Structure 1
């Protein structure tokens, strides 16, 4: 079997299964492990798969995958600043607000005036550091599981602690918005936190730069009637 045929077999198998261990691929497709590793390296360079520990997954380019926070804050900066300033105009003095993890939320923290005297809750260590840098005094960080990729606090403890809050306004991050304006995030743990935020907020706003639109991600957490979008 020539390389092209092997690679097509691998991709067709992964399209159906999504994820597979290397040993399973080798056995099911009858490809020696040494040959399979070379083919997988080629497919990785071509952007058709993602490597995991002991296995691979099909890279569906129509799905938005989670990226590192440090990378996201350097994309679409001018647009994110404009969105942040639109969000800030909606905030009144002495309100209680929630600012979600993510690069759009970070820019809200960066430009949020301290003289608004807000009570601010967040699930992002990056947001906390930026808010303290800007001189805000009433800043609260949710407890829970720390996710290094996003700098977010997620999980059962975060959801439980959110149930004790009532926010005037919440500003949540969105990874993808499809043509029907359904809102997505990259995993169920982030989604459950966002769902709880919407429940305990009088008004919820979604922060979405142009890179988010006409795409999907792994988990649908809200439809357009639940969240007011702030965009460029």
Structure 2
């Protein structure tokens, strides 16, 4: 297969699935790791894909673009892990915690899987699967609903399931955050379901890495002022730190791939 043919094959896969991993491309196309990485470099230079750790994702679009779970899971992996590790400290044994759909909350689920007597409510099949083989003293409630490209269950069934519940803490993943639009998502039905989760929770904890700042999804979930805690990472720019510190209860900045003791907490 010629280089141009191979690159077109890679581009088709990225556009179809939203992302492609180097290891999978090496296996399926029968070439070396170095060859695939050179191909991705060429496609990235042409503005056709975005290179990320371990592969590539589709180039972003506007406020209604909804990346798939696979595409989002390849972005900011170190930041998401640091955020999840720090956020897990906010969920104690014997509490009821809601986890929205998303790759950051999915990462968080792995840290919560060993918390004793935890009750988890989620509209994410992937999050629920993390707890499937976990502790026997945990309770997991998965809402029904229509599945979105990002693997969230949304719509009237999901809303009805959440509306009757009361939880101690909501761990909310978001597509974007800004002073104008607050916390947002590209999917209107997902925003509606997330708003019900916000209403059901005594405390709102938002998990969002630094790349979410300034990103605006089509539909707003909540204002910045509604968040009791925002957990982000130390890549968050200074203007974002100032804006969030003025508006949220507590801003926590986790250091990627660093000791827990290096985390920062900023309070207004």
Q: TM-score, normalised on structure 2?
A: 0.61
Q: CA RMSD in A?
A: 2.1
Deviation (angstroms), 1:157: 1.0
- Which residue is equivalent to 1:140? 141
- Report the alpha carbon displacement of residue 111 of structure 1 after superposing the two structures with TM: 1.6
Aligned to 1:160: 160
Across the two proteins, how many residue pairs are aligned to each other? 176
2:68 equivalent in structure 1 = 68
Deviations 1:53-82 (A, max 9, x none): xxxxxx994636211101211211110011
CA–CA distance in structure 2, aligned partners of residues 60 and 85 of structure 1: 28
**If you compute each CA radius of gyration, which structure gives the higher value, 1 or 2?**
1
Q: Secondary structure at the match of 1:177?
A: strand
Q: 1:104-140: CA deviations, max 9, x gaps?
A: 1100111214242101011011001112144463111
User: 1:162: Cα distance to partner?
Assistant: 0.7
Q: Determine whether 1:184 maps to 2:154.
A: no
Instruction: Flag structure 2 segments of 5+ consecutive residues without an equivalent.
Output: 1-45, 49-58, 234-268
1:163–1:63 Cα change, 3 Å: closer
Q: Which moved more, 1:134-143 or 1:209-218?
A: 134-143
Name which of structure 1's ranges 115-124 and 126-135 shifts more when overlaid on structure 2. 126-135
Q: Which runs of 5+ in 1 are unaligned?
A: 1-44, 48-58
Bigger mean CA deviation after superposition, 217-226 or 132-141: 132-141
Moved over 4 A (4+): 59-62
- Structure 1 segment 63-142 matched on structure 2, within 5 A: 63=63, 65-135=65-135, 137-142=138-143
Partner SS state of residue 171, structure 2:
strand
Post-superposition shift, 1:85? 1.1
